[in-house]
Every structure is written in C-alpha cells, then in structure tokens.
A = this chain, B = another copy of it.
Amino acid sequence: MKIYFAGSIRGGRDDQNLYFSIINELQKYGTVLTEHIGDKELTGLGEVKRTDKEIFDRDMEWVKEADLVVAEVSTPSLGVGYELGQAESMNKPVMCLYRETEGKRLSAMVVGNEYFKLNIYRNLDDIVRILKTYFASKE
C-alpha cells in the first residue's frame, strides 16, 4: 500500500511535529511516499535542493502512484488543496484529518464534498484510532 500524505509546507509549518507523528503511524500500514513532509528541517520556504518544477512533477507522479491520499487539512494550504483536487480527479481514495479551531472553519470545498472521507480529531490518539478503524475496514 502506497500512501501519499499531504500537509502544509509553504502555507505554514505549525503542525510539523504532528505531521511527523501521523507519518510514523501511517508507516505501520504502508509506504509513505511523502515522508519529507514531517521533516523538522523542512521550513515554510519549502525544499531548497529542487526546483519548483521538479517538486511539482515528483509530487504528481506520487499522487498517481498512490493507493491512498491522507491529507491533514487544519492549516490552509494551496498545495494541499490542489493535491485534493487532483487526487479526486484521479479517483484516488482520500481521507482528510481536521482539528477544529475556535473562530475558524474548514473550507466548504472539503466539508461540502462527499468524495472526501472527513475525520475530525482532537489529538494524536484520535488519529491513531481513526487510522486503525480505516485500515481494519480494508482488510
């Protein structure tokens, strides 16, 4: 099982630690193609050793290759939104993980879209449970 994990990079790295933990968790179920999203060395300026075209081409190849897309959508991000749109147009299964924040609302393009399996969580324990239930249902 190849998993494309999507999280914010240039949209903001506030959740980098959490991405790292989610990736660790996902690795129990398959290969995470985008392991770098959890890297603490990766700042909001993005990858510096690749051109934007190289990053884009690689990421789109990975989405094509993926059996599942898991997107953490608590931080607004153009890249994550774009990947969601592309993953849907390629008919990839897509799971979204969202942490509610007072005074903020998740995009209607995610909440209002029945294609996406949206899961609300409060902490990593919730995510562990959500993933366990999801992958158990696939066995």
Q: Report which A residues bind B (CB closer than 8 A).
A: 8-12, 44-47, 51-57, 59, 73, 75-86, 88-89, 103-114
Contacts and interface: CB of A to CB of B under 8 A. Distances in A.
Contacts of A79: 81, 107-110
- Copies in the assembly, this chain: 2
B84 A54 contact: no
A109 B89 contact: no
A77 B85 contact: no
A4 B30 CA distance: 39
Contacts of A114: 53
Given A82-B84, A85-B86, A107 B77 contact: yes
Contacts of A55: 108, 112
B56 A108 contact: yes
Contacts of A89: 85-86, 89
Nearest to A8: B76
Contacts of A76: 8, 10-12, 75-78
Contact of A82 (B8, B57, B103, B110): B110
A124 to B, nearest CB: 22
